[in-house]
Amino acid sequence: MSALFTPGRHRSAEVTGDHLEIDADVAILGAGAGGCAAAAALAESGVRVAVLEEGQFWNPAQFRQSSSWALRNLYQERGTRSMRGNSVIPIPGGRGVGGSTLVNSAICFRCPDPILDRWHDEFGCTTVTKERFHPYFDRIWETLGVTTQSAEIQRLNNTTFKKGAEALGLKGHFLARSAPGCVGCGICQYGCPSGGKSSVDRTFLVEALSHGNVAVYADCMMTGVEKSGDRILAVTGDLLDAESQAPRGTARVRADAFIVSSGPIMSPSFLLRNHLSDPAHCGQHLCVHPGLAGMGRMPFEIRPWHGVTQGYYVDCWDKGYLLQTFSVTPDQYYGLMSTKTGAESMEWMANLKYICSAGPLVHDEDSVGHVTWTPFGPDISYFMGDGDKRKLIDGLRMTGHVMFAAGAERFMPAVVQGPIVLKAGDIDAALPHSLPASHLHAYASHPMGTCRMGNDAATSVVDPHGKVWGWQNLRVADASVFPTSLGVNPQVTTMSMGLMIGHSLAGKIP
């Protein structure tokens, strides 16, 4: 048994025996965007922090350009996690020290001011002010080295879409990204093999560790609590074998305060399975930024597997969506093309090097999503609302127009059994608003909102300081606490919430 608080990085395999016992001032459950930012905010305030993460430590040399390897090692539920409702939508999440930032595309957006204002004014999030969050955004820009890549590194998938957008007079830019050393290898979702991406394990966590009062334990999945009255005494769980991901021992962490930062699917799951919050709101209000893909077939080579994975966007936030370029590996392109007949998809696959790919990301507002806890794990449902579906289809139509303006000869929307569009004038008829949600081959990787913040225990899960209503020493700090979706990629807002809730716990925010 180990019973010490030892600053530094620890793996399950290094624990002597089959039980780990730790005492800390604060225990953080999950080493993703929110957890690592909270750890940095607490560490700089002199607090002793234990960070517990179910996945492994990774270094760039270990990442492999293989879907099966990445899904098995870097993703929750080995990449099979999905939502069911009026459509089935994959909802992947990262697993490992770094959380989803290990596998994300590094896109950085500051939370739009109207969203911050709405959270403050409508939901009573008194701690969420522009005066506090703008400096957090500046700090994140600096810590992560946020920048845009040159056209040479962007390569043709991004620059071709940019040309199309400019030809239509649309407002677009290269995306700001937390990848100052990006070499444009196009496989962000498999981990960054060059080390050019500033995932939080390489930035906020390094900063936290530099204070000498942070201990990070990988391969520790925390599932239970010991409680007394309105206080949590300890969290308990399994020490995992890193390779098989099976339990090899047990872990127990005592602390004065606890922060759940396990992401918007697992944080409400932890609260619900331990009866720490009311299911009337805990696990409810799930938003995800649903997205759809469109592929333009160009008369010249694109080679979409070369270049920045997601490098350019068109700003239609006022209409409820952004268009963003993307590239994936050939097996994943085949997944998108399998919405067509076998012969069509094989013909497109044979011509993959001519394909430019992009699609809308929607600010979801009238869809209804939930996470509930079952004996088999989280059950996730999401029913796409008519308004959100309309925005998704509008964004897909706009993607098609940009592709034709960039020179496409054909456009393939990721719509089940939908037609291949041969000219811009046919787009609207090919993509009617009446398409059922189940025909849209949607994707989502931005879960949010399942432990929403607010100033009323009757309508929210955490108070404006991230404190779970009813508990003196339990907080949530991750993308679960957003009261609504953002309409822009969420990692920066998540880190800002982590910083704010860490500073609040350290007594720096009244």
186 binds, among ligand SF4, ligand FAD, none (CB under 5 to 8 A by kind): ligand SF4
Q: For ligand SF4, which is the closer residue by CB, 97 or 182?
A: 182
Q: For ligand FAD, which is the closer residue by CB, 396 or 451?
A: 451
491-505 vs 33-43: helix crossing angle, rounded to 10: 30
Among 477, 447, 445, residue whose Cα is nearest residue 74: 445
Residues in 323-362 that interact with ligand FAD by CB under 6 A: none
Q: Tell me: does residue 50 bind ligand FAD (CB under 6 A).
A: no
Residue indicated by tokens 């995932």: 199
Q: For ligand FAD, which is the closer residue by CB, 29 or 506?
A: 29
179 binds, among ligand FAD, ligand SF4, none (CB under 5 to 8 A by kind): ligand SF4
Q: Which of 12, 149, 158, 189 binds ligand FAD (CB under 6 A)?
A: 189
CB of 106 to ligand SF4, least distance (A): 5
The helix/strand/coil state of 289 is coil
Q: Tell me: does residue 463 bind ligand FAD (CB under 6 A).
A: no
Interface residues toward ligand SF4, by CB under 6 A: 106, 179, 182-188, 192, 194, 196-197, 308-309
Q: Which of 51, 156, 222, 393 binds ligand FAD (CB under 6 A)?
A: 222
The span from the CA of 257 to the CA of 21, in Å, is 16
Query: What are the strands, taking DSSP E only, across 241-389?
Result: 247-260, 294-297, 312-316, 321-325, 355-362, 368-374, 377-383
CB of 105 to ligand SF4, least distance (A): 7
The span from the CA of 157 to the CA of 116, in Å, is 33
Q: Tell me: does residue 182 bind ligand FAD (CB under 6 A).
A: no
The helix/strand/coil state of 239 is strand
Instruction: Specify the DSSP class assigned to residue 404.
Output: H
Q: Tell me: does residue 464 bind ligand FAD (CB under 6 A).
A: no
CB distance 193 to 63 below 8 Å: yes
CB distance 402 to 165 below 8 Å: yes
Q: For ligand SF4, which is the closer residue by CB, 43 or 187?
A: 187
Count of residues that bind ligand FAD according to CB under 6 A:
41
The helix/strand/coil state of 457 is coil
Contact partners, residue 122, CB within 8 Å, separation at least 6:
483
Task: Provide the greatest CA pair distance for the chain.
Answer: 70
CB distance 464 to 124 below 8 Å: yes
Q: Which of 22, 27, 32, 154 binds ligand FAD (CB under 6 A)?
A: 32
Tokens of 336: 């998108």
Q: Tell me: does residue 93 bind ligand FAD (CB under 6 A).
A: yes
CB of 71 to ligand SF4, least distance (A): 16
Q: Which of 22, 24, 26, 33 binds ligand FAD (CB under 6 A)?
A: 33
Q: Which of 103, 239, 295, 308 binds ligand FAD (CB under 6 A)?
A: 103
The span from the CA of 410 to the CA of 426, in Å, is 11
CB of 125 to ligand FAD, least distance (A): 17
CB distance 249 to 12 below 8 Å: yes
Q: Tell me: does residue 67 bind ligand FAD (CB under 6 A).
A: no
- CB count within 10 Å of CB 15 equals 20
Number of separate helices (H) and strands (E) present in the chain: 12, 18
Q: Which of 335, 359, 490, 502 binds ligand FAD (CB under 6 A)?
A: 490
The span from the CA of 448 to the CA of 479, in Å, is 5
Q: Which of 67, 73, 105, 460 binds ligand FAD (CB under 6 A)?
A: 105
Q: Which residues contact ligand FAD (rule: CB under 6 A)?
A: 29-35, 52-55, 92-96, 99-101, 103-107, 189, 221-223, 261-264, 266, 445-446, 478-479, 489-491, 494
